[in-house]
Amino acid sequence: MSIRNAHRTRPRTTRAPGLAALAGLIADETRAAFLLALLDGRAWTAGELARHAGVAASTASEHLGKLVAGELLAEERQGRHRYVRLADARVAQLVEDLAAQVTPGADRPRSLRESSAGSAMARGRTCYDHLAGRLGIAVTDAMTGLQLLRQDTGFALTDEGLAWFDDQGIPLVRTGRRPLARACLDWTERRPHLAGVAGAALCRHALGAGWCLRIGSERAVKITEKGERAFAELLGIEPTTLHRHAPLFAQYPVRNSRAFPTSRRP
């Protein structure tokens, strides 16, 4: 019997302590704010998170202790700083999934207005380690259109897609059980974009090659001139696409006209 429910008298037939405890870590407003901030994939110091969420340093310290103990965060001490980051891609995916479930924009009411400033700056973001926002959608759509990625029957790279990464010199190294390609539901665009090993590799490449730059201390990224050219040349993405708001619920091309939706064959 858990400490929390020690006053329970009735015999409990079925329990779910693990599930409830995990959700409990995210169920606090301050801890949730920490997790969302950490979705930028970088390490934050305890003080930064405390100021970000508007709580005292002591409070933040206690929260971080719980999140680290619950293995949602990994920590690294450097001198007098305590850096924390999301434990791994699984945790990032989990937080993304939960955030996507809530009504869109509920947690960031001002984000769209903020982004409207800046002409050459397309609204791009990162989700932990892959591209999101309009940029992420544009890349995913372009790869789907070029049949590098297949979304009509699930979410997977095609053989041509593997070749494309190979051609760009972007290595895809399988680590553990993380899938090569995975759909991540963007909670501002409400559409899936490329995550998984391939999404992370592409994002790393884009940052390394100077296609985009991180701006500020959060998740936003800015596309450079060089990046606009690269995305146009390699994926046929029109620069204007990155400036306009992408249409919701776009149709994806179906590769094979055969029987979709399927029906009983004569």
Q: If contact means CB under 5 to 8 A according to the sort of partner, which of DNA, its own copies, none does residue 120 touch?
A: none
Burial tier of 12 (Cβ tally within 10 Å: 0-12, 13-18, 19+): exposed
CA 94 to chain centre: 10
Handedness of CA 147, 153, 155, 160 (dihedral sign): negative
Residue 111 vs 224, nearer CB to its own copies? 111
Asked if 37 is part of the footprint of its own copies (rule: CB under 8 A), the reply reads yes
Could you tell me whether strands 149-150 and 124-127 are parallel, antiparallel, or unpaired per DSSP bridges?
unpaired
Q: Which residues pair with 184 in a beta bridge?
A: 193
Is residue 239 packed enough to be buried (19+ CB in 10 Å), middle (13-18) or exposed (0-12)? middle
Among 45, 61, 74, 98, binds its own copies (CB under 8 A): 98
Residue 215: contacted member of DNA, its own copies, none (CB under 5 to 8 Å, by partner type): none
3 state DSSP class of 22? helix
Using the rule CB under 8 A, give the single segment among 113-121, 124-132, 207-215, 257-265 that binds its own copies: 257-265
Residue from the set 38, 86, 157, 200 that interacts with its own copies by CB under 8 A? 157
Among 5, 210, 225, 245, binds its own copies (CB under 8 A): 5
From 122-130, 159-167, 226-234, 235-243, give the range in contact with its own copies by CB under 8 A. 159-167
* Phi, psi for residue 232 in degrees, rounded to 5: -70, -45
Among 47, 54, 118, 247, binds its own copies (CB under 8 A): 54
Count CB neighbours of 132 within 10 A. 30
Q: Which residue in 101, 116, 119, 240 binds its own copies (CB under 8 A)? A: 101
Bridge partners of residue 150, in order along the sequence: 156
User: Among residues 3, 6, 7, 19, which is the contact residue for its own copies, using CB under 8 A?
Assistant: 19
Decide whether 9 or 251 has the Cβ nearer to DNA.
9
Select from its own copies, DNA, none the partner in contact with residue 173, using the beta carbon and a kind-dependent cut-off of 5 to 8 Å: its own copies
